[in-house]
Amino acid sequence: MGAVKVLTVFGTRAEANKMIPLVLALQERAQSGNANPVDSLQVVSHVCVTAQHRELLDQSLAPFGVVPDVDLNIMTAGQNQGDVTGRILARLAPVLEEYKPDIVLVHGDTTTTFAAALAAFHAKVAVGHVEAGLRTYDKFRPYPEEMNRKLTTALADLHFAPTALAREYLLKENVPADRIFVTGNTAVDMLAHTTKENYKLENTAADAFATGDRVILMTVHRRENFGAPMDAICRAVARIATDFPTVRIIWPMHPNGAGKVESQAHLAHLPNVLLTQATNLQDTHNLMKRSYLILSDSGGIQEEAPSFNVPVVVLRETTERPEGLTVGTLVLAGVAEENIYNESARLLTDASAHKKMATVANPFGDGAASERIVDAVVGYFGKALREG
């Protein structure tokens, strides 16, 4: 019996939240005696974190018992994209030499994603790209994510596309069809690990505040929304809070400081708005479950919210998740005050419009993406072993 050695690399909270289900699936396959339906290959799984986001990453890993085999610990105060890329390339190279993986799995579109894929390429190690094929075709929206994922596509050997549309984008870029696997999104897998009935939030302020049937969850963190767009977002939310005094708006503030000045000026005095510290993953998912509406520029929330039957007003000019727009789980409001206010007010006043968005099946996955990815990896290397 042969073995396939898998090294999973990630570094931010967003990556961890979507890679933890895959790590757990790899561990389960490795511990099950490797009696799997795809091949007789044994799975050997290791985890390397870059700690691009130190505190938020640790917060995500702890509840699930995921202990990295390697921690590159690259985060420094005031780091920029070049700093992150350089340190990952330098520190990951000896890890690849020591562990000698057959494949490095990376996720999505962070600087860790691209740098780890590049390091694997330098070491002539195969790259598997989880959540491959997302595109806006605007290299600065989102920045730097759009180019990170496109460059990772160029380096990857296996592409795990979350949807059929993502697969089509990859095919248009001449990625071989037999290297693309439509798996669903691992973000949906994670919900089974985090949500429960009668969950009490660890953020006690948010737990006490998020009551009633008109809770609005708000998250904003993207770089392109800093400055004037953030100011417009906050003005729109202030109008919503004022015109709909029975709603309760909760904004867990991202540690990058996005919106703190603007929100304090526009929102801090409003009694039905709570500005609070960033929530952990379990709290975030269970807050989503309590929500009537979500205002967000987050990609993950666009994928997760449909599983809770909660409409999302997307605070961006474009999205790499158009499937949600097509089926109607998302509405793209942009970052103009009037558009954000109008779209939100419509869903707060038109029950039929809200119901139409809230009752659509999640187009991003069914909760089994991680198993499909493990099967694809094992199948790929099993075939190579048989033919080699």
Catalytic residue among 141, 179, 193, 223: 223
Output the pLDDT for position 48: 97
Q: What is the pLDDT of residues 134-182, one digit of tens each?
A: 999 999 989 999 999 999 999 999 999 999 999 999 999 999 999 999 9
Question: What pLDDT is stored for residue 77 in this prediction?
Answer: 83
Q: What pTM did the predictor assign? A: 0.89
pLDDT above 70: percentage of residues in the chain: 95
* pLDDT value at 1 more than 70: no
Question: Which pLDDT score is estimated for 57?
Answer: 81
**CB-based burial of residue 111 (10 Å sphere; 0-12 exposed, 13-18 middle, 19+ buried)?**
buried
pLDDT tens for 283-298 read 999 999 999 999 999 9
pLDDT of residue 34: 53
Residue 221 has a pLDDT of 85
Query: How far apart are alpha carbons 182 and 195 in whole angstroms?
Result: 25
Between CA 281 and CA 274 the distance in angstroms is: 18
Identify the pLDDT of residue 215: 98
Q: How confident is the model at residue 223 (pLDDT cuts 50, 70, 90)?
A: confident
For residues 13-34, average pLDDT: 90
Our CA angle for 348, 353, 356, nearest 5°, is 130
- How far apart CA 348 and CA 352 sit, in angstroms, is 10
Specify the pLDDT at position 222.
84
The answer to whether 365 and 189 are in contact (CB under 8 A) is: yes
* pLDDT tens digit sequence for 81-139: 898 999 999 999 999 999 999 999 999 999 999 999 999 999 999 999 999 999 999 99
Residue 278 has pLDDT above 90, yes or no: no
Catalytic residue among 221, 248, 354, 372: 221
Q: Is residue 131 among the annotated active site residues?
A: yes
pLDDT at 82: 92
Which member of 15, 39, 102, 131 is catalytic? 131
Q: Whole-angstrom Cα distance, residue 18 to residue 187?
A: 5
Catalytic residue, from 39, 109, 189, 343: name it. Answer: 109
**58 — pLDDT class (breaks 50, 70, 90):** confident
Q: Is the dihedral angle over the CA atoms 314, 140, 52, 322 positive or is it negative?
A: positive
Neighbour-count burial of 342, counting CB atoms closer than 10 A to its CB (0-12 exposed, 13-18 middle, 19+ buried): middle
Per-residue confidence (pLDDT) for residue 55, from 0 to 100:
76
| pLDDT (0 to 100) of residue 80 | 87
Q: What's the CA gap between 231 and 225, in Å, rounded?
A: 9
Is residue 254 part of the annotated active site? The answer reads yes
| Length reported for the chain | 388
| Catalytic one of 235, 254, 266, 372 | 254
Q: So what's the pLDDT on residue 39?
A: 55
231, containing H or E segment: helix 228-243
Active site residue 223: yes
Token pair 């799984």: residue = 45
